[in-house]
Amino acid sequence: MPTALIILAAGKGSRMNSDLPKVLHKIGGSSLLAHAMRAADTLMPQRVVVVAGHEAEQVRAEALSLGVADIALQEEQLGTGHAVAQAKDVLADFEGDAIVLFGDTPFISPETLEKMTAARKEHDVVVLGFHAADPARYGRFITDGSRLDRIVEYKDATEAERAINLCNSGLIAADSETLFDLLEAVKNDNASGEYYLPDVVEIANSRGLSSGYVTCDEAETLGINTRAELANAERIFQDTKRAEALENGVTMYAPETVFFASDTFVGRDTVIEQNVVFGPEVTIESGALIRAFSHLEGCHVSRDAIIGPYARLRPGAEIAEEARVGNFVEIKNAIIGEAAKVNHLTYVGDATVGARSNLGAGTVTCNYDGVMKHHTTIGNDVFIGSSTMLVAPVKIGNRAMTASGSVITSDVPAEALAIGRARQENKLGLAEKLFTRLQAIKEKKKAGKQ
């Protein structure tokens, strides 16, 4: 059965106290909207509609970056039923099931969504519920065995109904045409004057359709409405990722100090030391060592490579097998070849470093001229002396060397030694004269202040 997702992302999220739309706040380096979409990947949806409202253009841009082409606009926030109805025109030509998700509920699992789609074989409408430890102000399920009779909002519930702990998550699945037909009958004669999506259950039952429900763990239904809830969600996410890494054969000496992104991949037998942060799009192959206080994003680290301590790998960094990237080294958009060494106090940007080459301390690839970026190519088995400035574009041939303190502005042939520094001159006695003069100036200034 073809599936369409309708993701509600129109809310302002005023309790976040932010200019950023709520669904664009991030957990594990990915927006809440991205998490909601990723949960449904296993369903292989044919269509995805994001319903935007507050700061719609920002939400639209994020949705487009995630591969969503269909955006519906909810100009007035008149309730969840009204929000879903805005997707009707977009899905006018769609035949299949529609599943409604919330863009601020990041932890719904693929397994739970698959349970909902499986339940659709028995029911016309399926709603996701959960048993709440503290039902608080959630809507309550009114059931008759496996049948879902209706969902009552807390504001409209009796005391007996409020005692029920089987609560509504808000997620719903139904045939697309049926869902929109039911929504047309939803009224706003309730305490909030809004069009409630859950009302479709009672309407469906009144028409002789079958309504059912499935349940999930309460933790999956966590919605994000405040900064405190966002921080708690980040903690839950990180704890889950750390547990997965340990289970998959990754060694972490202090797991609570390691932070992952949602798409971080780390191979088995990798060792991650304390206080390491992974940004988005990082792949670490098996057997690597990521040493303490390193920050990695948008990079690939091959087998048996060593990164850090205090290293920064930026987007486009490709570190080959057995390469070494040491302390206070920054790599950006550069390939570090097999067994190459960039051990300390060095910046390598927009460059290729060949196999077994060694870059001394303080090496800098001067890649930016203020307008454009330029590339540096360093061959195999090259030795770059400490404090060498490589002014791109420049090429260093295989087995070449540069003298320490050189500024290299021209290509260096293979096996050549390049010296790009001014000749040293010693001015005898000049240091003593200079020190005497400067000391006199200092004493004069000091006397003038007294």
Which position among 35, 131, 344, 375 bears the catalytic label? 344
Active site residue 300: no
Residue 23 one-letter amino acid: V
Residue 118 one-letter amino acid: A
65-87 as b/e: b if 16+ CB within 10 A: ebebebbbebeeebbbbbbbbbb
Asked whether the beta carbons of 2 and 73 are under 8 A apart, the reply is no
Token pair of 228 as six digits: 């405190």
Q: How far is CA 169 from CA 45, 153, 178, 312, 399, in A?
A: 21, 12, 20, 41, 65
DSSP string covering 257-288: G-B--TT-EE-TT-EE-SS-EE-SS-EE-TT-
Three-point CA angle 365, 367, 369, nearest 5° = 135
Identify how many contiguous H helices and E strands the chain contains and give both numbers. 9, 33
Kindly state the helix (H) or strand (E) to which residue 160 belongs, with its residue range: helix 159-162
- Those residues with Cβ within 8 angstroms of residue 223's Cβ, 6 or more apart along the chain or in another chain: 102, 104, 105, 229
Catalytic positions, written as ranges? 344
